[in-house]
Structure 1
């Protein structure tokens, strides 16, 4: 959504030339990518909670981190705890903010469909009306 931004656009262009190239080819940007982003994050969170037992893994890693004997074991469990919790929280926050952006756009009053080109350009609408009056 921010590919046309002056600062974030450079990051988007770099990622578009790297391993994320298929993503940039499939989704042309803008709001067309928002709903698939929300749905993919929501499915990932739900499947992670139901099938992967992410909450149990987070609690188990935290307990193992507290009960570990050496520093290296504690560090390993801390990385597991932080990465699993961070991934889960970032996906939930992405779903929430994506939906809030979608809802704001939806409720903003823009009701333009594919055939409403005349409403986008007032000069074209006026010219069409003038021509129809001239034909009468």
Structure 2
């Protein structure tokens, strides 16, 4: 029989219908959402750094495990930097990445608004699994540390570096817990804003198509 035509997948910027997402900074209609996404990325990045630092103070022997469990957040941060490459705050980080360990990524993904769908998708997946009560998920870790703060004997096998119930121990646990909560909230809000941004651009693209079909006058 005749060979079936090969399946051609649409570019990531075309997902959701309407016009393809433009290359470069967001159009004026999407800038309010990008400001919220910017705040989410700042929160996520800051929380990630604080989480790792506070965990290193509390449990230095298990820091490698914490870094591994944070890889999805690190990956999400990289996507966010590509998305906000035209932002004055993240532009230097983007330039540094595409000149070092992300050289090949620059050819495959131009960054900017074209990464909006990727940001939405990855934020959604990451937030979804971090909200499930599985071991090492954000919600599991948050609940565990709240229990530890209430009753340190709940996890007797943990090898704390500071003395349990000391001021340093309490500060470290509280900071780690709060940063974990903020990171999770940033993922959820980032996913929502990404979804609404893609949806809004799809509507804009559909309206432009209608205007072109109607013609002048």
Interval of TM-score (by shorter of Structure 1 and Structure 2): 0.5 to 0.7
Mark the runs of 5 or more structure 1 residues left unpaired by the alignment. Answer: 113-118, 120-136
Match of 2:116 in 1: 34
TM-score, normalised via structure 2 length? 0.43
1:57 Cα shift? Answer: 2.2
| Structure 1 residues 25 and 90, CA gap change in structure 2 (3 angstroms) | farther
Match of 2:209 in 1: 111
| Alignment deviations for residues 49-106 of structure 1 (CA, whole Å, 9 cap, x no partner) | 2234432321331343355611122122123202321221111111111112112111
Bigger share in helix: 1
Match of 1:128 in 2: none
| Structure 1 residues 59 and 103, CA gap change in structure 2 (3 angstroms) | same
Partners of 1:79 and 1:21 in 2: CA distance: 35
Mark the runs of 5 or more structure 2 residues left unpaired by the alignment. Answer: 1-82, 152-163, 213-217
Partners of 1:11 and 1:57 in 2: CA distance: 29
RMSD, matched Cα: 2.9
**Match of 1:3, SS?**
coil
Match of 1:59 in 2: 143
Match of 2:187 in 1: 91
- Count of aligned positions: 113
